[in-house]
Structure 1
Amino acid sequence: MSFTSGSFRGYDEDRSVVLFSMINDLTEVPCAISSDAMDFLDGAKRTPPAQREQQFMRLRASIESCAERKFANAEMEGRPPGIILRRLDFRS
């Protein structure tokens, strides 16, 4: 299994999540991370929507590592099945 970076999809302001994807072999896996989780990782409070892409890129390695862990543990949810990262996924 090869789980690698996919694409940045954008910030969904209605749901307060950044949408991105990961690639499992040849299959694209939809992923999302809550803005609360990103602010927790970044030590920030209420990052403006216009800065979410920049914040995601800065934190991308940590975010994708967590997504890979959840994928390996078969922690998929939603329809279509995907990875959703929340603040609690980054607590020690």
Structure 2
Amino acid sequence: MDTAAMTPDEEAAARAVLNRLRRAQGQLTAVIAMVEEGRDCREVVTQLAAVSRALDRAGFKIIATRMRECMTTREEGGEPKINEEELEKIFLTLA
């Protein structure tokens, strides 16, 4: 993680996202092991749902913390880096 150009708030948000992603990675590793062990499908699906929720939370955290920057940072031509329609599309892919 390149924190050179980040504010303290942005660094904290990035750490929170990375923690969520690492937790989801660990959960997914556990789900894979459960499938390999032939565990009950209800247990597997429950844990897989937990992984999915963790990834969704990470995605929403990314959007929530970066939304203002994406809408206010301008490209060379003066347009926002991302417009409202694009942001909505990204948001809805997580919903």
Higher CA-based Rg: 2
TM-score grouping bracket, smaller chain normalisation? under 0.3
Higher strand share: 1
TM-score (norm 1): 0.26
Quick check: which one's helix share is greater?
2
TM-score (normalised: structure 2): 0.25
